[in-house]
Amino acid sequence: MRLALSRGHQVAGLIIPSEAVPQNVAGGAAPVWLRGTLDQAPWDQIAAFRPEVCVHTAWITAPGVYLESPENESFRDTSLTFLRRLVGYGTGHIVSLGTCIEYQISDQPLAEDRTPVNSTTTYARCKDQLRRALEAEAAKRGFVLCWGRVFYPYGPGEHPSRLCSSLAHRLLRGERVSLKTPDSTKDYIYIEDLASALLTVVEVKFAGTINLGTGTGVAVRQIAGSLGKLLGRPELVESAQKPEPDPFPHVVANAGRLKGLGWQPAWTMERGLEQVVKAVQRG
């Protein structure tokens, strides 16, 4: 939202009634906040705003819970109902977020036009079911659909149980870190780079499926080692004597389609981790 506002876009955000309005959204004109939920949306206010595009990000993502939560099915169904109705109000471009683990995972970069879809979790399966339903709707009703498969975002403000922040917290407390999956390699994308990627697909009115990742894989041991150095405690990082298997050992995007739109990541992993460390140190 900050980036979109800074570029002169008018932005409205749907915010659930129990949430406080974010105070760190700056840029151009102030955003419009619409109180409601996917299944109880303030349709009169939405109609008055007349949105040209909807960036749909709402879903369950709580670490340790989201992969098999029954809430995934609820988000699939309410999302489809909400977006169908939104199109009826004249919104012609829908950008909805999928997940990289919709793919059949392999040690090769995951490509939108070549890698098979093989969703093995409830989370990924419900995301893929929503994609298929929206594609059928788009073919029938003529709106533009972009399905963005997000890889592994990180950065300040993330859930403290996510990898980077969890490791930083433990090292800051002086705890020894034993890496259970040291060689697990993922495509980590800094949150501001993800924001710029999303805004890119909005501004070019991209249609189709697109990977939202950097195209570069980073192993857990590299992240932990970097955090150890940044916090001055590299001696606290070690690999487990008996590493555990990772069901998703190598998840890296083929980012050619995204970069073909002119997007490039602005943040290196090292710079991004520096921001994570600063956020953790601030508490």
Q: Would the pLDDT of 26 be above 80?
A: no
Whole-angstrom distance, CA of residue 10 vs CA of residue 5: 6
Q: Which residue has the higher pLDDT, 11 or 25?
A: 11
For residue 23, the model assigns a pLDDT of 81
Concatenate the DSSP letters of all residues of 61-93 into one string.
--TTTGGG-THHHHHHHHHHHHHHHHHHTT--E
**pLDDT tops 70 at residue 136:** yes
Q: What is the pLDDT of residues 45-64, one digit of tens each?
A: 999 999 999 999 999 999 99
106 Cβ contact list (under 8 Å, min separation 6): 115, 250
Name the helix (H) or strand (E) containing 98.
strand 93-99
Arithmetic mean of pLDDT over the chain: 96
Rounded Cα–Cα distance for residues 88 and 156 (Å): 37
Up-side HSE of residue 147: CA atoms within 13 Å toward CB? 19
Identify the pLDDT of residue 194: 98
Judged by DSSP in three states, 207 sits in: coil
Residues near 211 by beta carbon (within 8 Å), at least 6 away in sequence: 100, 110, 111, 112, 148, 149, 151, 253, 254, 255, 257, 258
Distance CA 115, CA 159 (A): 30
Domains of the chain: 51-282 (3.40.50.720)
Predicted confidence (pLDDT) at residue 279 exceeds the cutoff of 80: yes
How far apart, in whole angstroms, are the C-alpha atoms of residue 97 and residue 58?
A: 9
Taking a C-beta distance cutoff of 8 angstroms, is the pair 108, 55 a contact?
Answer: no
Lowest model confidence (mean pLDDT) among 151-155, 166-170, 207-211, 241-245: 241-245
Residue 138 has pLDDT above 90, yes or no: yes
Q: Has residue 80 got a pLDDT over 80?
A: yes
What is the percent of the chain with per-residue pLDDT over 90, rounded to a whole number?
A: 95
The arithmetic mean of pLDDT across residues 107-117, rounded, is 97
Which residues neighbour 229 within 8 Å (Cβ) at sequence distance 6 or greater? Answer: none
pLDDT value at position 27? 62
Q: In the predicted model, what is the mean pLDDT of residues 136-156?
A: 98
pLDDT at 28 over 70: no
CA 4 to chain centre: 17
Mean pLDDT of 11-18: 95
- CA angle at residue 151 from 265 to 51, to 5 degrees? 80
Predicted local confidence at residue 22, as pLDDT:
85
Q: How many whole angstroms separate alpha carbon 164 and alpha carbon 171?
A: 11
Mean pLDDT of 125-138: 98
Average pLDDT value for residue range 84-101: 98
pLDDT higher than 80, residue 24? no
